[in-house]
C-alpha cells in the first residue's frame, strides 16, 4: 500500500523520481546512439526497447549483409540512413545469384558507398543503375575474368555512376589492359576520380610505363593512387624514370602514393641468410626520385618498393623531407644507404623528422648505428617496421625503443637473422608498458645465450629524470657499439637486468643500491602477429617474455613452408601448441593462416603426411581457447588448386564452444560443416574461396549452393541466448 501524501509543510516528499537516459530529448539520445561504432553494441542497444530500436536503425550509416542471397526478399526497410553497404559477403560466397535489384534500392535509398562481389558483368549491369549517386565502389572477385574486350566490364559502372570519385580494385581480378581503356572512354568520370586503388596481388606482372602514363593522364585530380608496377627491366615496358616523372606531372595533388612491384605483393618471405641485395640494380635513379618528390609537395604517405637495389638513397630522402613537409608515413623496399651515420651527424632518412610511421624492407647496409640515428631524428615515430635487414641486432632495436619510448606503440620485426623471437621481445622491453601491436618471427633463438649476451651495465639513479636517463643511455650505447672491448663487455655478468626504463607500469624491485629489474607485464598490448615455419612448435612462445599479456585481444599466426619436405613426426605429431595461448585471458580473436603451407591433399607418399594430418597438427588444442572470432586458412595443394577443410579440422573446430563468428577461407564437404552445428553460440559462418584463381566449379562432394543453404537453415533454426 502506498504511503500518505506529503503534508502542507516544506518537508521532503516521500515519493522519489528517477531520471534515466530515456528522459533525454530524442535528438540528444539519437546523437549518443549514433556515436556508437561497434556493431554488436549497436545491436544490443536496439534490443533495449522499441524507442531505442527506432533510433538505432535511423542512425546506422554502415551495414554488412552476410545472409543468403536467396533471402533478400525479407530484407527490412528500416535502414534508410545507411550510406555504406557491403554485399561482398553474401552467401554462397562468390556466386552470381542476383535478386530483384529493386529490393536493395528500396531498402537503401541513400547509398553512396558499395562493396560488391562481381563475378560476371550482369552484376554491375543490374545493381549499379539503382544508385546513380554512388561516389565510392569496391569490387571483389577471385574467379577468372570473363572473356570480354578490354575495358568493357567497367562500362556499366562508369556509365551510370557519374558522381564516382573513389574506385577500389585491390581485390578484383582483371587484366591491367582493362583499366586505362575504361578510364579513357569516360573522361569526365576519370577526371572526377580522387582515389584509385590498383594494388592487386593477382596481377601477374603489374602495370607498365605506358599504362601508368595513360591512367594518370586520364585522372589528373587524384589525391590517392595505389598501383602495382613492373619494375623489372627484363620485361618490355617496365616502369622507368619517365613513368615516375609522369606521375608527378599528371597528378600534382597526390597526398598518398603507393608504387609497389607486383612480386612484393605476393607476401613471400625472403631468405634470412641472403645478404639483402637484389641480383640487379634498379634503373630508377636518385635524380629521378628527387624530381618526383619535388613535384608532389602535398604528399603525406609514400610507399616505394621496387624490388631492385636503389643505392645511395640518402640524398633523395633528404630532398623528400624538404619538398614534402606534410609527409607522415614512409615505406621503403630495397633502398640502401638510408643514412651514413658518420660523426653522429643526422642525414638521409634520419632528417625526415615529421614522419610517424616508417617501414624499412630489405635494406642490406642498415646497421645498429643507423637505427639509433633514425630514432634520434624521427622522434615522432609511433609505428616502426623492419624486415629483411641482416645487420641490425637486439642492441640497436633496444636503443631505438628507449629513444622512442614516448611515441612508439606499433613494431614489426621480420626476417632479420639476428633478431629471433627472444631477442626481439627483449629489445622491446623498454616500451613494454606502452606498445599495443607487435609482429615477430617465431625463430627460437637461445634464451640462455641472451642471458649472458648483449647487456650493458648501467647504474641508474632512482630520482634521475627520464630525459637525462635516455640521453645517457644513447651516448653509452653509441660508445658501446664502437668500442674495442665490445665482445668482452658482452660476456660480463650484469648487475642490472634490462632495467633501462623505470617508468614502465610493471613492478620494479630494487636491492637498495640503485639496481633493479622489471616484471615483464605488457599491459597495453592488444594485437600480436607471429610468423612460424612449417613443422616448428608454438610452445616456446611462453618462454621468451610474452607470458604476461593481460589485455591481449587478437592474435594472428601465419604458418609458411612445404610440408612435403618433412617426414611423419613421432610423439609430437599433434601438438603445435595452440593450448599454450591459454595464458592470455582476454584473447578472443584469432587469424590462423596456413594458406602458405603446401603439401599433398590426398596422395601423400609413404612416410609423409597428407594435409588432413597437418591440419590436425595445427588445430589440436584450439578448443581450449575462449575465442569469439576465428579466421582460418586451410593448407593447400597447389597442384590441384585445392584449399579445403578436412575431417580432423572440422572436428577440432567444433570443439571451440565460445565461437560466434567463423570464416573458413576455402571450401568444405557438407557433412564436415555439420560438425560446426555443435557450437552453441555460433551465428556467422562463411566459406570464402578468396584465393586466385578461385575454383570455377566446386566438386560434386564439396559445398555447393544447395548444401550451403541447408547448412545455413540448420544454423538459424537453433536457439541462441543473445
Can you spell out the DSSP letters for 437-491? Answer: EEEEE-----HHHHHTSS-------TTS-HHHHHHHHHHHHHHHHH-TTHHHHHT
Q: Find out whether the peptide bond into 693 is cis, omega within 30 degrees of 0.
A: yes
- Residue 469 in contact with residue 504, Cβ under 8 Å? no
Say if CB 588 and CB 626 are below 8 A apart: yes
- Nearest C-alpha neighbor of 212 from the set 246, 249, 253, 175: 246
C-alpha cell at 337: 644507404
Residue among 602, 612, 544, 542 at smallest CA distance from 574: 612
Q: What is the pTM of this model?
A: 0.85
pLDDT attached to residue 489: 37
Q: Which cell numbers hold the place of 602? A: 590426398
Question: Residue 506 gets which letter from DSSP?
Answer: S
Tell me the C-alpha to C-alpha distance, in Å, between residue 613 and each of 10, 31, 295, 636, 652: 82, 53, 56, 13, 12
pLDDT for 706 equals 82
SS3 per-residue string spanning 289-342: HHHHHHCCCCCCEEEEEEEEEECCCHHHHHHHHHHCCCCCEEEEEEECCCCCCC
Tell me the three cell numbers of residue 181.
581503356
pLDDT of 574 reads: 63
Burial call 438-464: b when 16+ CB within 10 Å, e when fewer: bbbbbbbbebeebeeebbbebebeeee
- pLDDT of 720 reads 75
Q: How far apart are CA 207 and CA 244, in angstroms?
A: 12
CATH architecture of 542-717: Alpha-Beta Horseshoe (3.80)
Q: What is the DSSP letter of 74?
A: G
User: What's CA 312's distance to the chain center, in Å?
Assistant: 31
Give residue 6's region: left, alpha or beta (phi > 0; psi -120 to 50).
beta
Closest among 654, 716, 646, 650 to 684, alpha carbons compared: 716
Q: Compute how many other C-beta atoms are within 10 angstroms of the C-beta atom of residue 329.
A: 16
Asked whether the beta carbons of 405 and 435 are under 8 A apart, the reply is no
Q: How far apart are CA 653 and CA 579, in angstroms?
A: 14
Say how many C-beta atoms besides its own lie within 10 A of residue 105's C-beta. 14
C-alpha–C-alpha distance, residues 381 and 375, integer Å: 8
User: What backbone torsions phi and psi does residue 665 show, to the nearest 5 degrees?
Assistant: -90, 70
Q: Quick one: pLDDT at residue 566?
A: 82
pLDDT-flagged residues of the chain (< 50): 1-9, 12-14, 447-464, 466-518, 571-572
343-377 b/e with 16+ CB inside 10 Å = b?
A: eeebbbbbbbebbebbbbbbbbbbbbbbbbbbbbb
Q: Where are the domains of the chain?
A: 542-717
Q: Kindly report the CA angle at 183 between 180 and 188, in degrees rounded to 5?
A: 155
Amino acid at each position: 500500500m502506498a504511503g500518505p501524501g506529503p503534508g502542507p509543510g516544506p518537508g521532503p516528499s516521500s515519493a522519489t523520481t528517477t531520471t534515466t537516459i530515456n528522459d533525454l530529448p530524442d535528438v540528444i539520445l539519437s546523437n549518443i546512439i549514433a556515436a556508437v561504432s561497434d556493431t554488436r553494441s549497436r545491436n544490443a542497444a536496439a534490443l533495449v526497447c522499441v524507442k531505442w530500436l527506432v533510433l538505432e536503425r535511423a542512425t546506422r550509416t554502415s551495414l554488412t549483409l552476410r545472409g543468403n542471397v536467396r533471402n533478400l526478399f525479407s530484407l527490412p526497410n528500416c535502414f534508410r540512413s545507411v550510406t555504406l553497404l557491403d554485399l561482398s559477403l553474401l552467401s554462397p560466397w562468390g556466386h552470381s545469384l542476383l535478386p530483384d535489384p529493386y529490393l536493395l534500392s528500396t531498402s537503401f535509398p541513400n547509398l553512396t558507398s558499395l562493396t560488391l562481389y562481381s563475378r560476371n558483368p550482369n552484376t554491375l549491369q543490374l545493381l549499379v543503375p539503382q544508385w546513380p549517386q554512388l561516389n565510392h565502389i569496391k569490387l571483389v572477385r577471385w574467379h577468372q575474368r570473363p572473356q570480354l574486350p578490354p575495358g568493357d566490364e567497367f562500362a556499366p559502372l562508369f556509365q551510370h555512376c557519374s558522381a564516382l570519385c573513389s574506385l577500389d580494385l585491390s581485390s578484383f581480378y582483371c587484366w591491367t589492359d582493362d583499366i586505362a581503356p575504361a578510364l579513357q572512354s569516360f573522361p569526365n568520370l576519370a577526371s572526377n576520380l580522387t582515389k584509385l586503388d590498383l594494388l592487386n596481388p593477382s596481377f601477374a606482372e603489374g602495370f607498365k610505363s605506358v599504362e601508368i602514363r595513360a591512367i594518370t593522364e586520364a585522372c589528373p585530380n587524384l589525391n590517392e593512387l595505389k598501383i602495382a608496377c613492373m619494375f623489372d627491366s627484363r620485361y618490355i615496358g617496365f616502369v622507368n624514370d619517365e613513368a615516375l616523372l609522369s606521375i608527378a606531372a599528371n597528378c600534382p595533388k597526390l597526398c598518398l602514393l603507393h608504387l609497389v612491384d607486383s612480386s612484393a605483393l605476393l607476401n613471400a618471405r625472403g631468405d634470412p641468410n641472403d645478404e639483402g641485395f637484389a641480383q640487379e640494380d634498379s634503373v630508377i635513379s636518385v635524380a629521378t626520385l628527387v624530381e618526383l618528390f619535388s613535384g608532389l609537395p602535398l604528399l603525406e604517405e609514400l610507399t616505394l618498393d621496387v624490388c631492385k637495389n636503389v643505392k645511395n638513397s640518402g640524398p633523395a630522402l633528404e630532398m623528400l623531407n624538404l619538398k614534402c613537409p606534410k609527409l607522415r608515413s614512409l615505406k621503403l623496399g630495397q633502398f640502401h644507404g638510408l643514412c651514413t651515420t658518420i660523426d653522429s651527424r643526422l642525414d638521409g632518412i634520419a632528417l625526415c623528422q615529421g614522419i610517424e610511421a616508417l617501414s624499412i624492407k630489405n635494406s642490406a647496409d642498415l646497421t645498429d648505428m643507423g637505427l639509433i640515428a633514425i630514432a634520434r631524428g624521427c622522434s615522432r615515430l609511433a609505428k616502426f617496421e623492419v624486415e629483411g635487414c641482416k645487420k641490425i641486432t637486439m642492441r640497436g632495436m633496444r636503443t631505438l625503443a628507449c629513444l622512442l619510448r614516448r611515441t612508439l606503440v606499433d613494431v614489426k620485426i621480420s626476417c632479420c637473422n639476428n633478431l629471433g623471437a627472444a631477442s626481439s621481445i627483449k629489445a622491446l622491453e623498454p616500451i613494454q608498458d606502452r606498445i599495443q601491436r607487435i609482429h615477430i618471427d617465431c625463430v627460437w633463438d637461445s634464451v640462455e645465450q641472451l642471458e649472458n649476451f648483449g647487456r650493458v651495465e648501467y647504474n641508474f639513479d632512482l630520482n634521475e629524470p627520464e630525459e637525462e636517463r635516455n640521453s645517457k643511455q644513447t651516448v653509452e650505447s653509441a660508445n658501446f657499439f664502437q668500442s674495442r672491448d665490445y665482445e668482452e663487455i658482452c660476456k660480463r655478468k650484469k648487475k642490472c637486468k634490462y632495467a633501462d626504463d623505470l617508468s614502465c607500469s610493471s613492478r620494479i624491485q630494487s636491492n637498495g643500491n640503485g639496481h633493479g629489474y622489471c616484471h615483464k607485464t605488457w599491459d597495453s598490448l592488444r594485437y600480436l602477429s607471429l610468423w612460424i615455419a612449417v613443422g616448428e612448435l608454438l610452445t616456446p612462445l611462453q618462454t621468451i617474455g610474452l607470458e604476461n599479456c593481460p589485455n591481449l585481444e587478437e592474435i594472428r599466426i601465419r604458418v609458411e613452408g612445404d610440408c612435403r619436405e618433412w617426414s611423419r613426426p613421432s610423439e609430437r605429431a599433434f601438438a603445435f601448441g595452440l593450448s599454450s595461448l591459454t595464458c592470455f585471458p582476454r584473447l578472443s580473436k584469432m587469424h590462423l593462416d596456413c594458406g602458405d603451407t603446401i603439401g599433398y591433399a590426398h596422395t601423400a607418399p609413404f612416410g609423409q603426411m597428407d594435409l588432413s594430418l597437418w591440419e590436425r597438427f595445427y588445430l589440436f588444442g584450439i578448443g581450449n581457447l575462449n575465442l569469439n572470432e576465428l579466421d582460418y586458412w586451410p593448407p593447400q595443394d597447389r597442384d590441384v588448386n585445392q584449399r579445403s577443410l578436412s575431417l580432423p579440422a572440422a572436428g577440432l573446430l567444433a570443439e571451440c564452444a565460445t565461437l560466434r563468428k567463423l570464416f573458413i577461407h576455402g571450401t568444405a564437404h557438407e557433412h564436415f560443416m555439420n560438425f560446426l552445428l555443435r557450437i552453441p553460440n555460433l551465428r556467422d559462418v562463411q566459406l570464402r574461396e578468396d584465393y586466385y584463381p578461385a575454383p570455377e566449379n566446386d566438386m560434386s562432394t564439396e559445398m555447393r549452393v544447395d548444401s550451403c543453404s541447408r547448412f545455413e537453415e540448420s544454423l538459424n533454426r537453433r536457439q541462441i541466448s543473445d
